[in-house]
Structure 1
Amino acid sequence: MKKIILLILLGIGGFYFSQQIHVKYLRVLSSFTTSYEDLYIKNNQVLSIQDSIIINNKLTDSWTLGVNIDNGKKPIKQYFVSDLDKNNEAERNYFFTSSVDSRDFFVYDKVPKPDWKLEEDHIKTIAGYKCIKATGIFRGSKIVAYFTRDLPYSAGPFKFYGLPGLILDIRAENKDYNIWKAELVDVDDKTTVAFKPQFLKKEKISLKDYVAAKEAHMNKIFAKIADALPKTNFKTKITTNQRLTVEQKYEWENDSETK
């Protein structure tokens, strides 16, 4: 009997890993801005694509306008490329694309695994799957995730991984943005996907240099906004060096550098 059960489990695992999985996430960028992110998994290869199109915010039931602040350049999709690792690795290699001040980048990132704590008694159903709650710290942000063991992939949207199942909901704790919530799961997706896309025309850059370039560009924008504000007797302060993403603190930084 035990052998039969083992064979069934192996058969189920073999089916999943031979098929292409597609998960569509609603991605909440701010309290009034959303887009979509598509995650594809096949044969231990993982590709996540963040759409640049701003859509109706289904979580707050309001519409928003996308504002392009990159010198009039049309927003582009971002790609996050990685591989599954069955050895429960402490770090995972990611390659991702981005654009800053009209420069297209290809960035290498070694992402540390969050120190996850599972809460087996906290269950919710997402996209038809029974999901278990987990909490952890991801680059300075407290995060809450729900994952399903029914899809045995240690993966999720963006750069999230490290749980014993696919992450279908993940968010920064106590915030109404930095949220990814699965709306669709297809376990036999037929989309043609290049899991190792070529980015030969993009400029290669280290993660540290990319972060510095991105924040310098945003500070220029904040300065322009401050200059454009009406001159009054009231002092208006525009805070620079803000990180509005879930990545609040990187591995090379200490506490004094991020305050």
Structure 2
Amino acid sequence: MKKTILILFIVLVSISFLQGQTYRIDYQMTYKMDSTKDETIKKKMILDVKDNVSKFYSYNLYHIDSLGSNQIRKKASDYDFSVIRKTKDNTTEKYFVIGLDKYSFKEDAPKFDWKITEEVKKIHDVNCQKARLNYKGRNWEAWFAKDIPFQEGPYIFNSLPGLIIDMRDSGNNYIFTMTALRKDVGAVDPIAETIPVNRKQLTKAYLDYYNDPYKELKAGKAVVKVVDESGRQVTPNFNQLTELKQKDIKMKNNPIELTDAIKYP
């Protein structure tokens, strides 16, 4: 029944696609933080498309925005993989949380050299066609639906002649699968205030955090209670904690855009 409703809605969208309306596509994102392990994380993501702007962000940010509390939104930190793309000025803005700070990085939108194949199949009973892409260290396979008349997809990916329904890299480090599609949803502004940076400044912020990940704690900007096995509060051993954190950061250095991975010492 759910598939039937989705197919019917796709048909309606293909017939009644109009400027000025917001279309929302839900994706199930499955990814590996550590490429050497089989463990994966599942994350619900949202793609909002309206006129010349598309916004890709987590369901957690949408939920926080819908609560209408500015104070709660300021505390939200689920910015991973968030992107706002503006077709009119051909820019892509990405968002990051490093330590206690939120950053935004704007750059020219990439041009994708898609290789569209003749291979077709049905996904959720929707006719799809396969395309391949080599981009920033990963080989991607995408299935797009020509019957859905906008050239959008998950994260920064776009410009195929139809909506991307399923996309994954050759190592299954990142998988995006569309789960829902609807229109006339309310406008959402999921991104709170950020610090604008360029690529060099963003890299420096990551390296500074790696070198001293507990800087805020030591400076009293954040408070964490550390207890021993008996429940007694103890003074944190920051040298030991830093070593463990640095090891964890290196293990989880597996970004979508692989060639942009930070080179930690």
* TM-score for both structures, normalised by structure 1: 0.65
Q: Pick from 165, 179, 182: which aligns with 2:162?
A: 165
Quick one: structure 1 residues 245 and 129, their matched pair in 2 at CA, closer, same or farther if it must change by over 3 Å? Answer: same
Structure-2 separation of matches of 1:17 and 1:211? 40
Partner of 1:17: 18
Instruction: Note if 1:37 corresponds to 2:69.
Output: no
Structure-1 separation of matches of 2:104 and 2:249? 28
Count of aligned positions: 205
- Provide the aligned C-alpha RMSD in A: 3.5
Q: Pick from 176, 182, 186: which aligns with 1:192?
A: 186
Q: Pick from 75, 83, 87: which aligns with 2:86?
A: 83
Structure-2 separation of matches of 1:96 and 1:227? 29
Quick one: structure 1 residues 174 and 106, their matched pair in 2 at CA, closer, same or farther if it must change by over 3 Å? Answer: closer
Q: Pick from 171, 178, 201: which aligns with 2:174?
A: 178
Q: Which is worse superposed, 164-173 or 126-135?
A: 126-135
Quick one: structure 1 residues 224 and 75, their matched pair in 2 at CA, closer, same or farther if it must change by over 3 Å? Answer: farther
- Deviation readout 1:152-209 (Å, 9 max, x if unpaired): 222211111121111111111132x3111111122xx2321146x775x321111332
Give unmatched runs, 5+ long, in structure 1: 1-11, 54-72, 86-90, 230-236
Structure-2 separation of matches of 1:129 and 1:180? 16
Instruction: Note if 1:141 corresponds to 2:133.
Output: no
Structure-1 separation of matches of 2:44 and 2:104? 21
- Deviation readout 1:14-72 (Å, 9 max, x if unpaired): 8313342211100112232111110111223211112459xxxxxxxxxxxxxxxxxxx
The question of whether the paired residues in 1 share the 8 Å contact of 2:27 and 2:46 is answered with yes
Greater share of helix: 2
**Between the two proteins, what is the percent identity of the paired residues?**
19
* TM-score for both structures, normalised by structure 2: 0.64
Instruction: Note if 1:126 corresponds to 2:129.
Output: no
Structure-2 separation of matches of 1:242 and 1:159? 21
Partner of 2:198: 206
Give unmatched runs, 5+ long, in structure 2: 1-12, 33-38, 62-74, 214-238
Quick one: structure 1 residues 224 and 155, their matched pair in 2 at CA, closer, same or farther if it must change by over 3 Å? Answer: farther
- Deviation readout 1:125-175 (Å, 9 max, x if unpaired): 234421111111122211111111111222211111121111111111132
- Deviation at 1:224? 5.8
Quick one: structure 1 residues 93 and 48, their matched pair in 2 at CA, closer, same or farther if it must change by over 3 Å? Answer: same
